[in-house]
Amino acid sequence: MKVLDSLATSKKTSSVIDVQGVWKKFRIYHERNQSLKEIILRGKRADYEELWALKDVSFSIPQGMTLGIVGENGSGKSTLLKILARILKPNKGSFVVNGKVSALLELGAGFHPELTGRENIYLNGSILGLSQREIRDRFDEIVEFSELERFIDTPVKSYSSGMYLRLGFAVAVSVDPDVLLIDEILAVGDEAFQRKCSDKIFDFKNRGKTIVLVSHGLEAVRSICDEAIWLHEGEIQARDEARKVVDLYLNKVNEEEQQRAGRGGEEQHLGTRVGSREVEITKVAFCDLDGKERDCFQTGQGFVVRIYYRAHQSIDKPVFGVAIYRSDGTHVTGPNTRLHRLEIETVSGEGCVEYVVDSLPLLPGTYLFSAAIYDYACLHPYDHHEKMYTFRILPSGEEEFYGVVQIPCAWRHVKEKP
């Protein structure tokens, strides 16, 4: 408590963010198909369930504090940030945010692929509320931070995902906000980018700005944040020094993990699962070409993996991917729908994506299987089941036996040099 007191006195006084009894409700539609036609035919709007994503959340943040928010997926962290950013409106309760707010919810949202980096800086800057003059003044800084000097007049559709992220981040922080809201962006991009981001965040912190940080990286929360809030199913479970809250939260997570391991079969325990779960993988099934489910195959047989999903909201352009590892960890393959040009416009509700291999080239052994759904940039995992599934290839006696795969081939004996 002592630490808290001293923090409170040193960082001082009036609160920049004050949230009072905020409730937020979402409607989950059973069919996403709301249309005039339906209403005319059935005389009512689509059925829906109500879900309280935030229940009576109250807290305040003094000037200059960095507050972390931790909690499981679906606990309402993003919803809370979106309310603070005025994107969502609470159903009950009130909140005040004093000062200019910049929300880093998704980097580069609003970039237009056909426009150049330069044009997008102006466009995105003005979406974030900057005036032309302010953007002009900060232009060089933005370009320098994003390291895109040479590409600034190229359309952003030709940017790599790293370039895209850097530009998005650079524009967002150039707003020079009093309050910075950050959701999970430390989880994307490469090492260098993440370092750059956290440097910038520390820079903001040192300049006495107020920051709210949502992160899965509990280490980041521990090291950057002064205090933290633990959200659980839309309610504040704890609010204390960041270190303590993270420990509390970790304890709870570990406990649950153990319970689950005790109860469930080993299949459940296998592998790891990450993602924000707006769309979830509900089942992964291995089948033969006739659609019969099985988990043993032979080299050269047909192999179909069905990835069943359930989308809790409609998601645009998701990318489904799989990966196959040999039991010793060798990564054999990792294709995805984007690589193979299957454009899935939107998913909503339930459905299934099939990964079809006409003739499986794998040699006998045990294989681990991952399935994942990512956003179009392949940066943000919606649901990633890493090595959570296994299947086996049984020997038939006809296949090769050196190596990992059997590559279709032919041998020729050529007497003269060709």
Partner 1 sequence: MLEKVRELYKYRELLANLVKRELKVKYKRSVLGFFWSLLNPLFTMLVFTFVFAFVLRIPPPENAWGLSSFPMFLLCALLPWNFFSLSLGSSVGSIVGNSNLIRKIYFPREILPTSLTLANLINFFLECLVLFLFLAILGYPFYLYLPFLLPILFIELLFVIGMALIFSFLNVYFRDVEHFVGIILMIWFYATPVIYPFSMIPVEWRGLPIQSILKLNPMTALALCYRDVLYFCRMPDLSLLLYTGLLSLVVLIVAYLLFKRYEPFFAEEV
Ligand X SMILES: Nc1ncnc2c1ncn2[C@@H]1O[C@H](COP(=O)(O)OP(=O)(O)O)[C@@H](O)[C@H]1O
From Mg ion, ligand X, partner 1, none, which one binds at residue 74 (CB under 5 to 8 Å depending on kind)? ligand X
Shorter beta-carbon distance to Mg ion: residue 120 or 276 = 276
One residue of 7, 123, 332, 377 binding partner 1 per CB under 8 A: 123
Choose which of 22, 68, 77, 142 interacts with ligand X (CB under 6 A): 77
List contacts with Mg ion (CB under 5 A): 78, 276
Return the SS3 of 314.
strand
- Least separation in angstroms between residue 143's CB and partner 1 is 18
DSSP characters over 371-398:
EEEE-TTS-SEEEEEEEEEEEEEE--SS
| Shortest distance in whole angstroms from residue 178 CB to ligand X | 23
C-beta of 128 vs 324, nearer to partner 1: 128
Does residue 132 belong to the site contacting partner 1 (CB under 8 A)? yes
Looking at residues 308 to 347 of the shown chain, list those that interact with ligand X (rule: CB under 6 A): 312-313
- Residue 64, interface with ligand X (CB under 6 A)? no
Q: Which amino acid is at 67?
A: L
- Following DSSP, what letter does each residue of 5-37 receive, concatenated? HHHHHHH-SSEEEEEEEEEEEEEEESS----HH
User: How many residues sit in the footprint of partner 1 (CB under 8 A)?
Assistant: 33
215 binding ligand X? (CB under 6 A): no
Tell which one of 110, 264, 334, 351 touches partner 1 (CB under 8 A).
110
Transcribe 204-265 into DSSP letters. HHHTT-EEEEE-S-HHHHHHH-SEEEEEETTEEEEEEEHHHHHHHHHHHHHHHHHHHHHHS-
**Buried-exposed string 133-171: b where 16+ CB fall within 10 A, e elsewhere:** eebeebbeebbebbbbeebbeeebeebebbbbbbbbbbb
For the CB of residue 312, give the shortest distance to Mg ion in the complex, in Å.
12
Strand partners, 326: 367
Q: Tell the smallest beta-carbon distance from residue 73 to partner 1 (Å).
A: 17
Q: Report yes or no: 84 and 104 within 8 Å, Cβ to Cβ.
A: no
- 122/131 Cα distance (integer angstroms): 9
Q: In angstroms, how far is CA 24 from the centroid of its own chain?
A: 22
| Closer residue to partner 1 (CB): 131 or 282 | 131
Cα–Cα distance, 177 to 138 (Å, whole number): 14
Tokens matching residue 386: 């890493």
338 membership: H or E segment, kind and range: none
Residue 284's binding partner among partner 1, Mg ion, ligand X, none (Cβ under 5 to 8 angstroms by kind) is none
Q: What is the DSSP string of 282-329?
A: EEEEEE-TT--B-SEEETTS-EEEEEEEEEEEEEES-EEEEEEEETT-
For residue 26, the tally of other CB atoms under 10 A from its CB is 17
Among 26, 122, 139, 308, which residue interacts with ligand X (rule: CB under 6 A)?
26
The DSSP letter of residue 271 is S
Question: Which one of partner 1, ligand X, Mg ion, none is in contact with 243 (Cβ closer than 5 to 8 A by kind)?
Answer: none
Distance CA 313, CA 279 (A): 7
Q: Return the range that interacts with ligand X (CB under 6 A); candidates 75-83, 151-159, 364-372, 376-384.
A: 75-83
Q: Does position 276 bind ligand X by CB under 6 A?
A: yes
For residue 107, the minimal CB distance to ligand X (Å) is: 16
Min CB(55)–Mg ion separation in Å: 17
Residue 211 to residue 232: CA distance in whole angstroms: 21
Binding at 112: pick from partner 1, ligand X, Mg ion, none (beta carbon under 5-8 Å per type):
partner 1
Using CB under 6 A, which of 53, 156, 170, 373 touches ligand X?
53
Verify binding: residue 25, ligand X, rule CB under 6 A: no
Binding to partner 1 in span 272-291, by CB under 8 A: none
Number of shown-chain residues binding ligand X (CB under 6 A): 15
Of 225, 130, 119, the residue nearest 172 (C-alpha): 130
Contacting positions for ligand X (CB under 6 A) = 26, 28, 51, 53, 71, 73-79, 276, 312-313
Contacting positions for partner 1 (CB under 8 A) = 26-27, 33-37, 39, 82, 85-89, 103, 105-106, 109-110, 112, 114-115, 119, 122-123, 126-132, 316
